[in-house]
Structure 1
Amino acid sequence: MTLNRRNFLQLSAVGGTALALGPSFWRQAYAAPAKPGTSPYGAMSGSADANGVRLPAGFSSRIIARSGAKVANTGYTWHGAPDGGACFPVSGGWIYTSNSEKTLGTGGVSAIRFDGGGSITGAYRILSNTTSNCAGGRTPWGTWLSCEEYSGGRVWECDPTKASQGVVRPALGTFSHEAVAVDSDDYRLYLTEDSTSGRFYRFTPSAYPSLDAGTLEAARVSGDPLTGATVTWEPVSSSKPASQQSNASRTTVFNGGEGCWYDRGTVYFTTKGDNRVWAYTPASSRLEIIYDDNLYPNSPLTGVDNVTVSSSGDIFVAEDGGDLQICIITPDRIVAPLLQLVGHNSSEITGPAFSPDGKRLYFSSQRGTSGTNGGGITFEVTGPFRT
C-alpha cells in the first residue's frame, strides 16, 4: 500500500482544503502545507563566519568538537561520523549526546557535558561496539534511544550521565532504524525506518516506561494526507522489517523515513524519498503533510533529515545534501532557511538539538569539509531563538 503522490499534488493545486493539525503547530482551522517565505530571524548573512556558517544577524557559532580530536580540555577523543543528538538537563547544566554512524561494530554514542554558562566540563562514551548509529530520540525519563540504521538494526537505551553502558531493546523491532519519538501523553513510541520500503511504526510498552516488552505495529493509511488521512495500526513482529511480513500489503510504505519528534500532541517526522514533513495526531489518528518541496518551485528545504521542535512550536529540519541548511517551518506555515554550512559539499547536517533553555542549537556536519579528511565537526549556535 503506497500513498498516491500524483493525486496529492493535484489536490494541492486546488487549495482551500481544511486541515486540523495538532495544537502545537497549526493554530488556525484552515491551513495548506508550508510555503517559502521570510524567516522570523531575517536573512542569512551573505558570507560565512570563521567557522564556515552563514547565520542571521545576532547569531554566532562555535565549534565544540571535531572527529579524532580531543574535546576541549577533557582528554576525550570525539567520535567519527557524528549523527543524531539530543540535549538533557542535569544539575548545574546540560548534556548533549551524539550518535556515531560508523559501521561494523565501530559506532556508538558520545556525550558532552556543559555547565550553566555553556562551558564544556566533560566528555565521554556512553555506548560502544554498535553499528551505524544514525538518529534516535530522547525519553521523558531522561535516557537516549540510539537507533542502528542497517537491516538488522536495533534500538539501544543509554543513560547520558554515565560512561560505558547501554541496553539493547529488541521489542522495538529489528530493521533499518532511523529515529524514535516518545508520546508522553499516550505512553507510546513512534519509529521511522530508513528504507525505500520503510514503514512508520508504533510501540506500546506493556508496562510504561519500561521498554522490555510491548506491542509493535505499523501504520495503515486511509485517505489523502492533504485533506486529513486516517491511520489504523497493524500488529507486526519485532524480528524483521514490516515489509517482509505476511501482512505487508496492509501497511503503508513511507519512502525513506528520517527524523521524528513529539511535541504537545503531535508526532512530526520526515521522509527523504519524497522530501516531505508529516504530522500525526494520535488523539484523532489524523495524518497530514505539512511540507512537500514539489509544491513550490523555489522551496528552500530539500534532503529532509533530522528534525527538532523548539519551545515556540517552530520546526527545525536539517538537510542531508541540498544546500546544507537547517530550515525552519513556522506555525504560520512559512518555510525558510535559518543557517547554512559553506564548504561542506560532501557532508550532511545531523543532530539538531536545543539546550534546555532554548538559547543554543547544537548540530554536526557529519563528514566535515574536504580539508578535514572526512572528519565530522560539531557546532553550537547561540542567538535570539524564539522561546
Structure 2
Amino acid sequence: MSLDRRSVLRGAAVGATGVGFAAVGAVPSLAEATPAPASRPYPAHRPFPPLMDDPKGLLALPPGFKYTVVTRAGETKLKSGQPTPELHDGTAAFAAGPRGYTLIQNHEIGANSALGVPQIPGTVYDEGVGAAGGCTVISVDRDGTNHGEWVGISGTLTNCAGGPTPWGTWMTCEETENKANGTTRLKDHGYVFEVWADGRTAHPVPLKALGRYAHEALAIDQDRQHIYLSEDASGPNGSFYRWSAPAGYRLGKDSWKDLQNAGFGKLEAMAILGDDGKPIPDVAYLTSAQLLRPFRVAWVPVPDRDAVSVSTRKQFTDGQVTRGKKFEGVYGTHDGVYVVNSYAKSGTTDVPADAVPHDGMVWFYNYKSKTIQLVTYFPSNPAAENGVGYADLNFDGPDNVTVTPWGSLILAEDGNASSHVLSATPGGPTYAIARNMLNDSEFTGPTFSADGKVLFVNIQTPGITLAITGPWRDYLG
C-alpha cells in the first residue's frame, strides 16, 4: 500500500495505547510499553588503521593482525573422509577446554552438490538427493589450527544463519519455503533445527513451533522465554518474528522435544508503530533522521505458522505488520536483540515508492521497554554500490551480525562492491577490519570466541573459514 512517509512520522504523541489491525488475531496492548532511554549506552572504540593488502591475495587486515585458514571447501577433509562442504554461512563458536574452541557452521547449499554435506546416518532429516545442506562441527585451537571436522546435521536445505543457545547448541535456519516434491526433496523445508557440538548427539527434527518460512537468523532472550527470528524474503518483503513460550515454560536442552509441535507456544510478527499508533508498513520509511529514536512495537499473531497453503508473510495484509527487505542477521544481548536489514534499492520492488532506498540498517529491540531503535544506518550510496571511490571507506549491504565481548558490533558485508568485515558502534562510526581480496563473495558467520582472542569469519564462496587474531582489545576493549 502506498503511504506518504511524512504522514507516518508526523505528530508529537508517542503514547498510543492501542492500534487497529485487519482481522488477524487480537491486537496486543501497548499500555506497558515505554520509550527506551534517549542516551547512548553503547561502547566507543578506537579507529582501526587502514587495511594492508595480503601478499597471498586472500584477506586484507589492519597492521598487527593475522589470519589462519581453518577449512577450505573441497580441500580440507571431514573425519568421515569426505571433503569439507561448500558455501560456508552462519557460525557459532563455543569454548572447548583451556585453549580450544568448537565451531558449528552452516552450509547454504540449495540443491544437489558434489560438495554437499554428506548424509551421515543418524544426522539426516531428508534423504532426498536435493537436500544437500546442513551443518559441520569443527574443533580448532587458539591459533586457528583445525583438529577435526564432522557432520552435525544433514539432509536440510539452504542453511543460512541461525543462533547459539544458552545451553551450548546451535539452531540452524533453512532459508527456503520449498516443499517436498517426491524426488529431490522427500520432506517439506523452511524450518529451524537444533545442532549439538559433541559429535554424538543428533536430533534431526524440524522445530515446527518456530514456523516454516525463509528463516535467516535467530536469538534467544536471557529469560529463555522468547526466540526472535528474521525472514529473508521478497514479494512481499519479509518480517521479524517473536516466538513466546507458554506461561511458566523456560527453554532448555530438552526443549527440542516440545518445539517439534507446530502449536507449541505462540509465533507473532513485528509491527513498528508510528506516531499515530498505526504500523509503519516497511522499515524503509525510517531513515537516519530517526537514528536512536525508540519506536513502540506490537506483535501480531501468525494464523498458520506451518504455512500449509499460504506463505507465512503473505498471511498478513499490507499495514498489519512492518515488512523489510532482507531481514538478515540477528544477535541477542542481555538487554535486547539486534536485527539487520541489508538494503532496499531504488527503482525496484525492494522499497515502497514513497519510502527511502538505503544500503543497510541495524536495529535494536529492547526487551524491557518493548521498543525498537535504528542504531546504524547506511544511506543509499552509489559509490559503495558501484565500487567507485575508496573501497575501504564506502560500505553497503550489512548481513550477518555479532556482538564483540566488549559490546560493539561486527557486521559482514554482502554488498555490490568490495566485501568487508566491519566494526560498528551503534549510533557511531563504522570501520573496515577485513577485506576479501580473493573474489567478490560475501563474508558470513562472524563470531568471536568468548575470551576475545579470535574472530572467526567465512568467505562464503568457495567456502573458507578464517581465524583472525591480533590486538582486538586495543581497539574494541
**Which TM class, normalised by the smaller chain length?**
0.7 to 0.9
Q: Distance in 1 between matches of 2:267 and 2:173?
A: 16
Corresponding residue of 2:366: 281
Q: Which runs of 5+ in 2 are unaligned?
A: 12-34, 111-129, 179-189, 276-285, 345-359, 385-392
Task: Quote the offset at 1:285 in angstroms.
Answer: 1.2
Corresponding residue of 2:305: 238
Corresponding residue of 1:41: 48
Q: Distance in 2 between matches of 1:72 and 1:198?
A: 36
Q: Distance in 1 between matches of 2:109 and 2:273?
A: 38
1:111 to 2:137 alignment: yes
| 8 Å Cα contact 2:69/2:144 also seen in 1 | no
Q: Distance in 2 between matches of 1:182 and 1:146?
A: 13
| 8 Å Cα contact 1:132/1:150 also seen in 2 | yes
| 8 Å Cα contact 1:51/1:61 also seen in 2 | no
1:264 to 2:322 alignment: no
Instruction: State which of 416, 435, 443 in structure 2 corresponds to 1:340.
Output: 435
Cα deviation code 1:325-372 (max 9, x no counterpart): 011112561111111111312x111111111211111111111xxxxx
Corresponding residue of 2:219: 181
Q: Distance in 2 between matches of 1:44 and 1:3?
A: 43
Q: Which amino acid aligns with 2:163?
A: G
Corresponding residue of 2:348: none
> Aligned-residue CA RMSD in angstroms?
3.1
Q: Residue 171 of structure 1 aligns to a residue in which SS?
A: helix
Larger deviation, residues 2-11 vs 376-385: 2-11
Q: 1:283 to 1:336 in 2, by over 3 A?
A: same
Cα deviation code 1:233-285 (max 9, x no counterpart): 01113212432225664111121111000122121111123311111112111
Cα deviation code 1:118-142 (max 9, x no counterpart): 5332210101010000000001011
Q: 1:384 to 1:144 in 2, by over 3 A?
A: same
Larger deviation, residues 267-276 vs 298-307: 298-307
Corresponding residue of 1:16: none
Q: Distance in 2 between matches of 1:284 and 1:4?
A: 28
| 8 Å Cα contact 1:27/1:331 also seen in 2 | no
Task: Quote the offset at 1:383 in angstroms.
Answer: 0.9
Q: Distance in 2 between matches of 1:164 and 1:105?
A: 21
Q: Residue 337 of structure 1 aligns to a residue in which SS?
A: strand
| 8 Å Cα contact 1:127/1:164 also seen in 2 | no
Corresponding residue of 1:14: none
Larger deviation, residues 212-221 vs 243-252: 243-252
Q: Which amino acid aligns with 2:467?
A: E
Q: Distance in 2 between matches of 1:20 and 1:278?
A: 13
Task: Quote the offset at 1:160 in angstroms.
Answer: 1.6
| 8 Å Cα contact 1:22/1:266 also seen in 2 | no
| 8 Å Cα contact 1:74/1:121 also seen in 2 | no
Instruction: State which of 147, 159, 172 in structure 2 corresponds to 1:146.
Output: 172
Q: Equivalent residues in 2 for 1:191-230 (5 A)? A: 191-196=229-234, 197-206=237-246, 207-209=249-251, 210-211=255-256, 212=259, 213-223=264-274, 226=290, 227-230=293-296
1:290 to 2:316 alignment: no
1:137 to 2:163 alignment: yes
| 8 Å Cα contact 2:219/2:330 also seen in 1 | yes
Q: 1:199 to 1:2 in 2, by over 3 A?
A: farther
Q: Equivalent residues in 2 for 1:294-313 (5 A)? A: 294=379, 300-313=394-407
Q: Distance in 1 between matches of 2:272 and 2:83?
A: 45
1:159 to 2:169 alignment: no
Q: Distance in 2 between matches of 1:22 and 1:123?
A: 46
Task: Quote the offset at 1:179 in angstroms.
Answer: 0.3
Q: Distance in 1 between matches of 2:5 and 2:406?
A: 31
Q: Which runs of 5+ in 1 are unaligned?
A: 12-18, 368-374
Task: Quote the offset at 1:291 in angstroms.
Answer: 1.8
Task: Quote the offset at 1:79 in angstroms.
Answer: 1.0
| Greater fraction of residues in strand | 1
Q: Distance in 2 between matches of 1:293 and 1:260?
A: 17
Corresponding residue of 2:472: 385
Q: Distance in 2 between matches of 1:262 and 1:311?
A: 12
Paired-residue identity, %: 33
Q: Which amino acid aligns with 1:264?
A: H
Instruction: State which of 80, 83, 104 in structure 2 corresponds to 1:97.
Output: 104
Task: Quote the offset at 1:57 in angstroms.
Answer: 1.1
Q: Distance in 2 between matches of 1:149 and 1:159?
A: 20
TM value normalised by structure 2: 0.69
Q: Distance in 2 between matches of 1:332 and 1:49?
A: 35
Cα deviation code 1:44-75 (max 9, x no counterpart): 12x22425111111100111111112249995
| 8 Å Cα contact 1:125/1:163 also seen in 2 | no
| 8 Å Cα contact 2:238/2:324 also seen in 1 | yes
Cα deviation code 1:141-197 (max 9, x no counterpart): 111000000124100001122257233211101000000011113621100000131
Q: Which amino acid aligns with 2:457?
A: F
Task: Quote the offset at 1:21 in angstroms.
Answer: 6.1
Q: Residue 379 of structure 2 aligns to a residue in which SS?
A: helix
Instruction: State which of 47, 64, 68 in structure 2 corresponds to 1:58.
Output: 64
Instruction: State which of 138, 146, 151 in structure 2 corresponds to 1:120.
Output: 146
Corresponding residue of 1:372: none
- Give the number of the structure whose alpha-carbon radius of gyration is greater: 2
